Chains A and B, each alone.
Chain A
Amino acid sequence: MEHAFLDKYSGIDSPIHRLDPRAKVLGTVFLVVICVTTPPTLWKAFAAFFALEITFIVLARLPWRHVLKRWMIVLPFIAAVALVVPFLSKGGGSYNLGPLHLHGRGLLTLWNVAAKSSVSVLAVVLLSSTTPFPDLLKALRKLRAPSLLINLLSFAYRYIFVLVDEAQRMLRARDSRGWNGRWLWQSRVIGNMIASLFLRSYERGERVYAAMMARGYDGEVRLIYELAFGVEEIAFLCLTVLVPLAARILANV
């Protein structure tokens, strides 16, 4: 059963993994916000963002295969822009590529989305691959996210593995019976699978709820916070805040 899809690499021991999750959350948000608000022509700033992230990925000893696989999630969006925008968004000079005419402004838009989405995806991959999800939720709670929201997410985190497992079991059962749906009207089979998935999960939820009530659950989740903000955290935050800021200001000069 392959279901270690979340938190697969967050158990590694590295300087980045050991950081207080609050520092990583703040640093990630800051880097992403700085990046998406940087004008696309500041090439050097983007080079600095990538360099910073690559340093952290190396420090965190994350497998490149994993990072690249997660990065590929933005590819369809970049591809959709690449197929249309350079040809239609006129202005800024034009380039000939065989029989095709590419326009400068469109190419700049393409670079803009490709660079910004890649930097941001890498930032979030770094955060999620170096921080166990429960720690991430603790950090968000400490940063004043509503407690009901965090409780819901922390329960959902427990169930997701169970239900994805259930869904994969159903897929295997279906495929081993020789199903090869190729057309839209065969979607009904998936509908029936999703319906049984819903019934199984809801009834499981009811059982879990009853069991928790029987053990004295009163709607309050008590957590032990072992978070500590020390020198390493401050150093990390300085890097993720000051390097992008400096890069952006210096790139303008």
Chain B
Amino acid sequence: MHIPDGFLNTGVSVATGIVAAGAVGYGLRKAREELDEKSVPLMAMVTSFIFAAQMLNFPVAGGTSGHFLGGALAALLLGPWLGCLVMALVLLVQCLGFADGGLTALGANILNMGIIGTVLVYYIFRFLQRALPSGRGSYLISAAAAAWLSVVMASGACAVELGISGTTPMGVALPAMLAIHAIIGIGEAIITVAVLSLVMAVRPDLVRTYRPQGAENLA
């Protein structure tokens, strides 16, 4: 899903670049406010964790595989804006260190995976959680829905950007991307729930969006 250079037209590149720069700037400000500069090592560790976790493939069907994306997990562990910052950092390392995702498509990739797949999904998650009765079960159900949506919406946004750029016909690419990622998203949901329930059992203090005993959930 990492769009390379040359697949987007100038308008889409510039527009998504501005949105992404704004979001990363806001994420950096939030990080300074919420964490103070000294917790840099911890945030960097989470960034490297998402990077390493993305290298673990999960099986989809009969030998094909998808890989973990981690946007929803980052948002649920850290809150929306720190999650966004972490995803943007992962994309930056992938772009600069591995040429995975283009320089001029960096904005679009951050928009898809770091803003839509992380920040937006977080607010959908909060909405779901309010609609459902509070408790561990409904927390995990909302998390599963958020993880599925993060993959599906990020892929949808990717197809829309390619469509607007005139690279691929929207009528073919959008349904195809959504259909493939609706399946991959199930893997993302299973993994996100597995990670959250294990972390909640061992170190509940590390899941910043989960407060047991029905307390108000904090961002």
- Seen from chain A, the residues whose Cβ lies within 8 Å of a Cβ on chain B are 6, 28-29, 32-33, 35-37, 70, 73-74, 77, 80-81, 84-85, 88-89, 109, 112-113, 115-117, 119-121, 124-125, 127-128, 133, 136, 146, 148-149, 151-160, 162-164, 166-167, 171, 181-188, 190-199, 201-202, 204-206, 208-209, 212-213, 217-220
* Other-chain contact of B7, A32, A117, A157 (Cβ < 8 Å): A117
Knowing A167-B52, A197-B49, A202-B203 touch, does A88 contact B37 (C-beta < 8 A)? no
Give Cα A146–Cα B58 distance, bound, in whole angstroms.
36
Whether the pair B167, A113 counts as a contact (CB closer than 8 A) is yes
- Tell me the smallest distance from the CB of A41 to a CB of chain B, in Å: 15
Check B32 for interface membership: any CB of A closer than 8 A.
yes
| Residues of chain B with a CB closer than 8 A to A162's CB | 48
Which one of A128, A187, A192, A205 lies within 8 Å of B99 (CB-CB)? A128
> Of B113-121, B149-157, B189-197, which stretch is located at the interface?
B189-197
Complex CA distance for A136 and B99, rounded to whole angstroms: 14
Contact partners of B38 in chain A: CB under 8 A: 209, 213, 217-219
B160 contacts across to A, CB distance below 8 A: none
* Beta-carbon contact of A198 and B49 below 8 Å: yes
A120's contact among B4, B10, B167, B206, by CB below 8 Å, is which? B4
Given A183-B59, A184-B183: A148 in contact with B40 (beta carbons within 8 A): yes
Q: Which 9 A-B pairs have the closest CB atoms?
A: A191-B194, A116-B6, A205-B45, A155-B44, A120-B5, A219-B37, A195-B198, A159-B48, A191-B191
Q: Does B166 contact A (CB under 8 A)?
A: yes
Q: Chain A residues near B49 (CB, 8 Å)?
A: 163, 197-198, 201-202
Measured in the bound complex, the distance between the Cα atoms of B202 and A182 in whole Å is 29
Q: Tell whether B135 is near chain A: CB-to-CB under 8 Å.
A: no
Q: Does B55 contact A (CB under 8 A)?
A: yes
Name 5 interchain pairs, CB-CB below 8 A, sorted by A. Answer: A136-B96, A159-B47, A190-B56, A192-B194, A202-B46
Interface of chain B: mostly helix, strand, loop or mixed: helix
| Docked CA distance A163–B206 (Å) | 18
A78 → chain B, closest Cβ, in Å? 8
Q: Which of B170-205 contact A (CB under 8 A)?
A: 172-173, 183, 186-187, 190-196, 198-199, 202-203
Judged by DSSP, the binding face of A is helix
Say whether B169 contacts A85, CB under 8 Å.
yes
Check A148/B59 contact, CB under 8 A, given A117-B7, A196-B198.
Answer: no
* Residues in B whose Cβ lies below 8 Å from that of A121: 4-5, 99, 102
Q: Do A197 and B32 form a contact, CB below 8 Å, given A36-B5, A191-B193? A: no
8 Å CB interface, B43-83 against A: 43-49, 51-53, 55-63, 68, 77
CB contact between A201 and one of B13, B48, B55, B93 (< 8 Å): that residue: B48
| Chain A residues, CB < 8 A from B192 | 191
CB atoms of B37 and A212 under 8 A apart: no
- Residue A77 contacts which of B4, B99, B194 (CB distance < 8 angstroms)? B4
Q: Is the CB of A199 within 8 A of B99?
A: no
Identity of the chain A residue whose Cβ is nearest the Cβ of B42 in the assembled complex: A205
Residues on A with C-beta less than 8 A from B112 are none
Max chain B C-beta neighbours (<10 A), residue from A36, A166, A199 = A36
In whole angstroms, what is the CA distance A42 to B77 when docked? Answer: 49
| Contact B45–A201 (Cβ < 8 Å) | yes
Q: A88-B172, A117-B4, A185-B190 are in contact. Are A33 and B104 (CB under 8 A)?
A: yes
Q: Name the residue in A109, A155, A197 with the highest tally of chain B Cβ atoms < 10 Å from its Cβ.
A: A155
Contact A128 B193 (CB under 8 A): no
Contact residues in B for A167 (Cβ distance below 8 Å): 52-53, 55-56
Tell whether B103 is near chain A: CB-to-CB under 8 Å: yes
